[in-house]
Chains A and B, each alone.
Chain A
Amino acid sequence: MRQFLIRRVPVTLLVLLGVTLGAFIMLHLAPGDPVLLLVGENTQSGTDSAEAIQQIRARLGLDEPLPIQYLRFIGGVLHGDLGQSIFQRRPVLNIIIDQFPHTAQLALAAILIAAVVGMTAGILAARAYNSWFDSLTMAAALFGVSMPGFWLGLMLILLFAVGLGWLPTSGQGTLWHLILPATTLGLGHGAILARLTRSSMLEVLHQEYMTTARGKGLRESAVLLRHGLRNAAIPVITIIGLQFGHMLAGAFVIEIVFARQGLGNILVTAILNRDFPVAQGTILFTAFFYVLTNLLVDLAYSILDPRVRYGG
């Protein structure tokens, strides 16, 4: 455990530093000057605008050399300061903190759906290996991983909101608003989990301890769940953890489909407006979240599976 932390934590810190550098470079090399956009909105005559541009540049610290801007940026990040939004004129961190719960709620609901649907389908398919049920489930799963999430979302809107009128097409606030987006995001990831759970179960089904468990007269469900699933679950749980990091980014597109508030919505708006502090902050926040989830998943993995010995 300590060994693992000693090895992984410095690497993670380096990766996070690299991520900040990446996010900084990407958005500062971007063409299209946001200050010009701002000035264009606020001033009329040509003589005023040159001065106004200089003022805004100085105010945002955009007139300093890039390395200085980067160091200031890192210093800011360490203090939880991600800069000011150019258009909303409020701290980027506040915007992210406002929006994160919406995205997290969607991702949590989706991971729940993915885990329940995916693992159930995978276990049942493995138990019925090579039957019509197995083939059908795997065909559905393959279809599920091939379907774009935003299209699945549109089809669910068409069926349940427009056709049957059971659920709202967009917006948020109630549980009813969450059902369609969470199902959309969950089913795609559930399809991946179903395939993985099945192959993982198939691997343990033929182990000797399964025969032993049956031999001592356990019920089939107990054999499958207590002896089979417990051993098959390790890679599955790992993937669920990794998927959660992915879901945050995956939720972005789904938020657009359902016109939901959240990080995806502010990121896309920021990119279209060239509001780079917001875009940079959101990308950075998501990447940090993803890296830290991965670290936690690896940690959980080393605790769950005594066979894994990091740095042994």
Chain B
Amino acid sequence: MAAEAMAIGRATQSSYLPRNQIYYLLGRLLRSRNGIVGGLLVLALALVALGAQLLSQYDPILPDIAAAFSAPSAAHPFGTDNFGRDILARVLYGARVSLLMGAIPIVLAGSIGVLLGLIAGYFRGWLETAIQAAIDVLLAFPGILLALAIVAMLGPGLGNLMIAVGISWIPSYARLARSSVLVARELSYVEAARAIGCSEARVLLVHILPNIVAPLIVLATLGIAQAILAGSALSFIGLGIKPPTPEWGTMLSVGRNFVRLAWWMSVFPGLAITVSVLAFNLLGDGLRDTLDPHSRL
């Protein structure tokens, strides 16, 4: 019972503190033009992903050979592909996969990376040395190469792709969290929390984490953009999502084969990737500018 009460107390406190920082971020964000545009685009993207079947009458997977390679028209605004499927429908449904491909690896990388960074920065000692060494080794691989290596090991597919991209982002979070903790652990509120007898875990999770969450959110937002790019690139070279699933990178790799015959197969899925990545980049830039006055200049 006591443990349960403490857990609830911790939950309410920890959800209260970061909310303060998140409200602060949101308030500042509304003054950044990039941030507003990015936020609206991200919102639109989420709505498209949720309501894809409401927005298009066509099935994204069922072939209709009679309609293959139709140029853009009123019936098919983005044209049709080699199987006669409506490209607009496939682009709309593709938003689902892309958002998952962007968000899930970042949640994975964020939670593991931040935990490692917190431990390394707070407890120091051999733990820090070990974690730091692992981070240095992982950072020695360019991100896309690391993701490629992991996909090579696990095999293609959406799940493995998300794990691969996720793992390649862990070191960035661990590094950022560690350097933030190194600063925060010397501050007086941490000392105060220790003085009133808080456990190490409580100091770390309830007092330090909420105070370093803002830069982590910026990294996560920009990270989603990078994860969408990495996921679609891996799918493009045939190591990610397999057809017939509507995914933009895979659609482009098919479109490449018909580049002389059907330009629309190569144009629209790429435009969709660009707009999605742009949305998260704008939002991330907006968030960073509100956090770091120096970069506004």
On A, residues with C-beta under 8 Å from B are: 11, 14-16, 18-19, 21-23, 26-27, 29-32, 142-143, 145-151, 154-155, 157-158, 162, 169, 199, 202-203, 245-246, 248-250, 252-253, 256-257, 267-268, 271-272, 276, 279, 283, 286-287, 290-291, 294
The 4 closest A-B pairs by CB, nearest first: A151-B270, A18-B137, A146-B278, A249-B142
A-chain residues with CB within 8 Å of residue B281 when the two chains form the complex: 142, 145-146
Interface residues of B in 103-149 (CB under 8 A from A): 133-134, 136-138, 140-142, 144-145, 148-149
B259 at interface by CB-CB < 8 Å: yes
Given A27-B152, A253-B236, A283-B148, A158-B273 contact (CB < 8 Å) = no
What is the interface of chain B, defined by CB distance below 8 A to chain A?
A: 133-134, 136-138, 140-142, 144-145, 148-155, 225, 229, 232-233, 236-239, 249, 252, 255-256, 259-260, 263, 266-267, 269-270, 273-274, 277-278, 281-282, 285, 295, 297
Residues in chain A near residue B236, CB distance under 8 A: 148, 150, 253, 256-257
Q: In the complex, what distance in Å separates the CA atom of A253 from the CA atom of B263?
A: 20
Using A252-B148, A268-B239, A283-B148 as known contacts, list a sample of 19 further A-B pairs with CB atoms less than 8 Å apart, ordered by residue number in A: A18-B137, A19-B140, A22-B138, A26-B149, A27-B153, A143-B274, A145-B281, A146-B225, A146-B274, A148-B249, A151-B266, A154-B252, A155-B266, A169-B259, A248-B142, A250-B144, A271-B152, A283-B145, A286-B142
**Bound form: Cα–Cα A206–B144 in Å:** 38
A150 CA / B144 CA spacing, docked (Å):
13
Q: Of all chain B residues, which has the CB nearest A250?
A: B144
A148 touches B263 (CB 8 A): no
Contact B140 A148 (CB under 8 A): no
Kindly state the separation between the CA atoms of A249 and B140 in the bound complex, as whole angstroms.
12
Are A252 and B144 touching (Cβ within 8 A)? yes
Cα–Cα, bound, A142→B252 (Å): 22
Bound CA span A286–B140, Å:
10
Instruction: A148 to B275: give the CA distance in the assembly, Å.
Output: 10
For the complex, give the distance between the alpha carbons of A148 and B138 in Å: 23
Specify the chain B residue showing the minimal Cβ separation from A23. B149
Would you give the shortest CB distance from B225 to chain A, in whole angstroms? 7
Shortest C-beta distance, A87 to chain B (Å), equals 15
